[in-house]
Structures are given as structure tokens and as C-alpha cells.
Amino acid sequence: MPPPKKASAPAPKPPRSTAKKQSSKAGGVTMDVCLRVDSPKIREMEKQAAHRRGFKWALGLIVVICFLALLKITVQESILKNPQFELRDVAVQTSGPLTVEKIVRATLLTRGENLLTINMRALHTRLRQLAPVKDVAIERDFDAGLMTLRITQRQPVAWLDCPKLGMVAGRSEVGYLLDHEAVPFPCDVVTESLTALPVIRYSALAQKTAGVAIQDLQLTSALKLLHELEERFEQGQPQVRSLDIQTPYSMVATFADKSVITFGVDDLDVQLARLDRIRLEARQRRWEIGTLNLLARQNVPITFRQPPDLAGLQPESPVPVTLSKSTSVR
């Protein structure tokens, strides 16, 4: 009995070709078959399809442009041109030598400007560029159309006098003020309160930049001394009028009672404690101090405008003692 024949495997299906041409073998010969059919009718149909696609793209683009234009008009009419968001007034809350008019001019704001379009960062930067300004806070009130500026100014503690650098104390525009952080800034208007400030004279000052702290040991020491002397003035001591930084190691203070006292740059606490003792003694004995040099650690030189009363301070004259011949002293 003949063996059963094996079922032949189904022939694999040829892969679907997406190329324009396909290669096939017939009798060992390779043939290229072009599967794309081209005819005037097909070209006309493809052209019409391309026109339809182009029309759809153009229509979509027109719709997008119309939507953006409508959105722009809506924004302009409802927000940008809305009188509710117009700037009507600027309020400045500050205290210091910088005038309100100059602060408002520095903002570059105009009445009627839209509050939403104001660049707050640029406005903050313009205000901080003013040398007397230490900090800025800005608030917008859309209902009232109000811009509120809260300006923290540097509080001056003294005038800085250095003619070499064009700084003349007590004069506007060329006068410079100092705060407790050694930051100089120009004075626009000299008021009565500013006139009463003490003067720090520093002819050897190398440079100054408005709004930037001066890194100088002598000036820092002078500001510290000025602060200590102002506290003592509140306790009843004479008020300091000027501090003259004469050398790298000494400075001379002139007071309202016409006393002139020399301080060293270092060890201010020790010198001030010595000054307190001398002032107390002078007050009790009604001495009028002329000059005092606290640089000396011992035998402090001091002069008086009037002859001082030294009663009780001079040693008593020794009483002579007569000894007889018979008296013996052991």
C-alpha cells in the first residue's frame, strides 16, 4: 500500500507592495512591473483633490485669523480701552529728603495709562535707582484707578563733606548725606532738620558712589562714634556738631559747648567711658572743657576755657614740725 502523501504547505502570499514598482522572477528572469496607473482622468481627479485640500486649509486659516482679530478687538475694548483700568492718580507714602515730586517724575507714569499694561518690574527698578531709596512697595487699585507707592528712604544721620570730590555740606545739589550704613546720597532740598545734622569732614576720601555703601574703616568708625555721641546727647551731654577725620588713626569732634575732643579710631568704648567720667566731673565742678585728647592712655591732656576750680583736688601743704634736741624719731 503506497504511503499517504503529505499535504503540501500553502504557498505564502506575496507582500502587499506600496512602492511604485515591484520586482518578480519568472523563469529566472527579473522583471520590473509598474503598479501606478497614470491617465488624464486620474491626474484631473488628483488635481481636484489638491484644490479641495487647499481650500480647506485656506478656510481654516481665515477662520483662525478672524478669531484672533475678534479676540484682539475684544481685549482692546473690554480691557485696554476700558476706562475702569485707567490710571487716575499716583499716591506716594514716604518720609525723607527725597521729594514726592521727584519720585513721581522718576516713575514715568502718565494719567490715563492702563494699569494692566504697566511694567511693574521696570517701575520698581526705576525707583530703586534713586540713591536715597532703600526699599519700594507698589500697589494697584483698579477700582479707584490709583497707584500707591510706598517708598522707604534712607534716613540721614550726617553730612559728608569732601570738597575734593565735590561734596559740600549744607548745600543742595552738591551736598551729600550719609545714613548709618555709610551710604551717601545727594540732597535736593535743604530743610531745617537737615541743617541741624552734624558734619563729617573727610578730605582724604578716595571715591564716592551715590547709593553704594563706602567701605572705609575711618568713616565707619566716625559713624559709630557719632551714634554713641548722639545717644549721650539725649542723656544730657553736649551735642556733637562736626567730626573731622584728620589722620588714619585720629578724628576730632567739635561740640555745641565749643569743646574740641580728639578720639582715636580704635578702642572707642574705652575712650567713651573715659569721656563719661570727665564729663561727669566737669558737670559737678562746673568746668568748661576747652580741649581734650583721649588718644593718650595716661595723663590725658585737657584744657579749660575758664580757670577751673581745683578746690579739694590739690594736696594740702605739709605742716612743719619742730623737734627738740631731746626728741628722738625712730
Please indicate, yes or no, whether residues 243 and 178 belong to a single structural domain of this protein.
yes
Q: Quick one: which of 132, 94, 84, 92 has its CA closest to 109? A: 92
pLDDT tens-digit series, residues 134-143: 999 999 888 8
What pLDDT does residue 75 have? 59
Q: Where do the DSSP E strands lie in the chain? A: 21-26, 29-34, 89-93, 133-141, 146-153, 158-161, 176-178, 184-186, 199-201, 240-247, 250-255, 260-264, 289-293, 302-304
Task: Provide the pLDDT for residue 82.
Answer: 66
Residues whose CB is less than 8 angstroms from the CB of residue 32 and which lie 6 or more positions away in sequence, other chains included: 21, 22, 23
On whether both 111 and 227 belong to a single domain, the answer is no
320, pLDDT greater than 60 = no
Q: What is the pLDDT of residues 14-36, one digit of tens each?
A: 444 444 444 444 456 676 666 66
pLDDT at 58 (0 to 100): 85
pLDDT classification of 46: cutoffs 50, 70, 90: confident
- Beta-bridge partners for 303: 291
Task: Evaluate whether residue 60 is within a structural domain.
Answer: yes
Q: Give the pLDDT confidence score for residue 197 in this predicted structure.
A: 94
Lowest mean pLDDT among 36-40, 143-147, 178-182, 190-194: 36-40
Q: Would the pTM count as exceeding 0.85?
A: no
- Pair (212, 241) in one structural domain: yes
Q: To the nearest whole percent, how much of the chain has pLDDT over 90?
A: 39
DSSP state of 243: E
Distance in angstroms (rounded) separating the CA atoms of residues 58 and 310:
110
Number of domains into which the chain is organized: 3
Domain identity same for 44 and 125: no
Residues 204 and 232 in one domain: yes
172 within domain boundaries: yes
pLDDT at position 314: 60
In whole angstroms, give the CA distance from residue 244 to residue 200.
6
**Whether residue 220 sits in one domain with residue 203:** yes
- 224 within some domain: yes
Q: Quick check: 3 pLDDT over 80?
A: no
Looking at residue 127, its pLDDT comes to: 93
**Are 180 and 278 part of one and the same domain?**
yes
User: Over the chain, what is the mean pLDDT?
Assistant: 82
Residue 123 forms part of a structural domain: yes
Q: 168 and 299 in one domain?
A: yes
Do 131 and 266 have their domain in common?
no
pLDDT in tens, 169-192: 988 888 999 999 999 999 888 888
Residues 196 and 123 in one domain: no
Please give the residue range of the domain that contains residue 172.
158-304
Give Cα 292 distance to the centre of its chain: 40
Whether 90 and 57 map to the same domain: the answer is no
Q: What's the CATH number where 254 sits?
A: 3.40.50.11690
pLDDT (tens digit per residue) in 58-116 = 888 888 888 787 676 665 555 556 677 788 899 999 988 888 999 999 998 888 888 88
Assign 131 to helix, strand or coil: coil
pLDDT of residue 155: 92
Neighbour tally for 325: CB within 10 Å? 5
Domain termination residue (choose one: 153, 168, 190): 153
The residue from 136, 153, 170 where one domain ends is: 153
Per the CB < 8 A criterion, the answer to whether 101 and 156 are in contact is: no
Helical H runs in 78-177?
100-107, 120-128
The 10s digit of each residue's pLDDT in 50-74 is 888 888 888 888 888 887 876 766 6
* 326 domain residue, yes or no: no
Length of the chain in terms of residues written = 330
User: Do residue 64 and residue 94 come from a single domain?
Assistant: no
On whether residue 276 sits in a domain, the answer given is yes
- Residue 316's pLDDT is what? 58
Distance CA 283, CA 278 (A): 9
Is 324 contained in some domain? Answer: no
Q: Which CATH number do you get for residue 127? A: 3.10.20.310
Least confident of 33-37, 50-54, 257-261, 263-267: 33-37
The count of other CB atoms within 10 Å of the CB of residue 183 is 20
Residue 22 resides in a domain: no
